[in-house]
Amino acid sequence: MTNIFGWDSVQYSESKKAMIILDQTLLPNKESFISINKESLLKEAIKLLKVRGAPAIGIAAAIGAAVVLERYPAKTNSELINEFNRLSKELISLRPTAVNLKNSLVRLQKALIEHSFGYNVKELKALLLEEALKIKEEDIAANIKMAQHALTLLKPGDTILTYCNAGHLAVSRYGTALSPIYLAKERGIDLKVYVCETRPLLQGARLTTYELKKAGVDFTLICDNMVAHLMSQGKVNAVITGCDRVAANGDTANKIGTHTLSVSASYYNIPHYIIGPSTTIDYSCPSGSQIKIEERESAEITDMWYNKKMAPPGIKVYNPAFDITPAKLISAIITETGIYRFPYKFKIND
């Protein structure tokens, strides 16, 4: 697949010794790339969703940690490892639902420990960056495989409904849920897309439409509460979403509202496909009931998009960022290793 955007959402600059990200909070109005080489900037980017999407968060955490620790004046391997462990714990706490962040940092931690007796501090720092960049390259390869698998479930002329943003911005390159749409475009296969706005942060309206417009895909933006109406009229052939964490039994955490989509799709006999890399599967988590759901500030609902408040001051607000879609509602979960159906028995890699 061709990188139709000409850039990746998370990049490493050798000349700047820094991680470069596209600030997604400014889209679609402004394309602004941020250079990150300090812990405070890394935490801010992750917490404030300047970088978002489960795979992209994991990659940013890995590359960001390597960049930050490159500047840390450790004198011994133990000192470097202790600092990595501290930073890793704090980064994981910023976005607890998406498992890719944790998985990436655990992978770096294992690499540090395995080489701690044969490498010096400088070599360990170089190893961290090398391993982080491997995670990115593996993600790109996985996205291509996922696109190929998913496209076998679609046919020319299909209309896809997607939610939130699970495209180029949410990964290293190409996307998860949007990857088969980009592959179809490259192969000259006609697919149409309905994009849900995705309240409260409008990732669909701001980010997915931004991507699809750049890619020349035929899409239509809708409000979240229009979904069942469209389905009842036969205007949707498949629902395709990404995932932030998949439990071992197939229960899936994704952007709040995904569960509602899946219930509606099931009622109207429309398949709901979830696409995500195998790194999003949490084998230590038996079911969705064990997944911690991140709750975010009330201002995202009451104040975010207008100069004036959208609700009276002092009211109670509940703002979970994710919900859990039960495995039985999901028609298939697609990873780079294949297409899986209920009851889910995943394999980690080919």
Q: What is the pLDDT of residue 261?
A: 98
Residue 25, judged by CB atoms within 10 A of its CB (0-12, 13-18, 19+), counts as middle
How far CA 196 is from CA of 35, 160, 163, 282, in Å, comes to: 31, 11, 5, 27
Q: Which tokens hold the place of 312?
A: 């009276």
Is residue 285 a contact partner of residue 321, using CB atoms and an 8 Å limit? no
CA 114, CA 107: separation in Å to the nearest integer?
A: 11
For residues 160-174, b (16+ Cβ closer than 10 Å) or e, as one string? bbbbbbbbbbbbbbb
DSSP letter string, 87-103: HHHHHHHHS-S-HHHHH
Q: What is the pLDDT of residue 350?
A: 41
Q: Which CATH number among 3.30.1360.120, 3.40.470.10, 3.40.50.10470, 3.90.850.10 corresponds to the domain 145-340?
A: 3.40.50.10470
Q: What is the pLDDT of residue 305?
A: 81
pLDDT tens sequence for the chain (350 residues): 888 889 999 999 999 999 999 999 999 999 999 999 999 999 999 999 999 999 999 999 999 999 999 999 999 999 999 999 999 999 999 999 989 999 999 999 999 999 999 999 999 999 999 999 999 999 999 999 999 999 999 999 999 999 999 999 999 999 999 999 999 999 999 999 999 999 999 999 999 999 999 999 999 999 999 999 999 999 999 999 999 999 999 999 999 999 999 999 999 999 999 999 999 999 999 999 999 999 999 999 999 887 788 899 999 999 999 999 999 999 999 999 999 999 998 876 54
Domain borders along the chain are: 10-143, 145-340
Residue 344 carries which DSSP code? Answer: P
Q: Which residues contact 204 (CB under 8 A, 6 or more apart)?
A: 162, 163, 164, 165, 195, 196, 197, 198, 221
CA 276, CA 287: separation in Å to the nearest integer?
A: 17
Could you tell me whether strands 192-196 and 218-222 are parallel, antiparallel, or unpaired per DSSP bridges? parallel
Q: Which tokens hold the place of 350?
A: 């080919």
Cα angle 178, 281, 63; round to 5:
75
Phi and psi at 173, nearest 5°, equal -170, 145
CA 260, CA 164: separation in Å to the nearest integer?
A: 13
As a residue count, the chain comes to: 350
- Selection from 63, 32, 30, 29 nearest residue 46 by Cα: 63
| H-run or E-run covering 213 | helix 209-215
CA 148 to chain centre: 19
The identity of residue 96, as a single letter, is P
Q: What is the pLDDT of residues 254-271, one digit of tens each?
A: 999 999 999 999 999 999
Active site residue 244: yes
Q: What is the pLDDT of residue 286?
A: 96
Annotated catalytic residue within 8, 139, 244, 282: 244
In the numeric block, the tokens 């998370």 are attached to 10
DSSP letter string, 23-42: -GGGTTT---EEEE-SHHHH
Dihedral (Cα; 263, 268, 270, 271), 10-degree rounding: 40
In the three-class reduction of DSSP (H, G, I as helix; E, B as strand; rest coil), residue 332 is classed as: strand
Q: What is the pLDDT of residue 200?
A: 96
Q: What is the pTM of this model?
A: 0.93
Q: What is the pLDDT of residue 215?
A: 95
- CATH number of this structure's domain 10-143: 1.20.120.420
Q: How many CA atoms lie within 13 A of 208 on its CB side?
A: 33
CA 270, CA 263: separation in Å to the nearest integer?
A: 10
Is residue 45 a contact partner of residue 98, using CB atoms and an 8 Å limit? no
Q: Which tokens hold the place of 93?
A: 């706490």
Adjacency order of strands within the sheet including 252-255: 281-282, 245-247, 252-255, 322-325
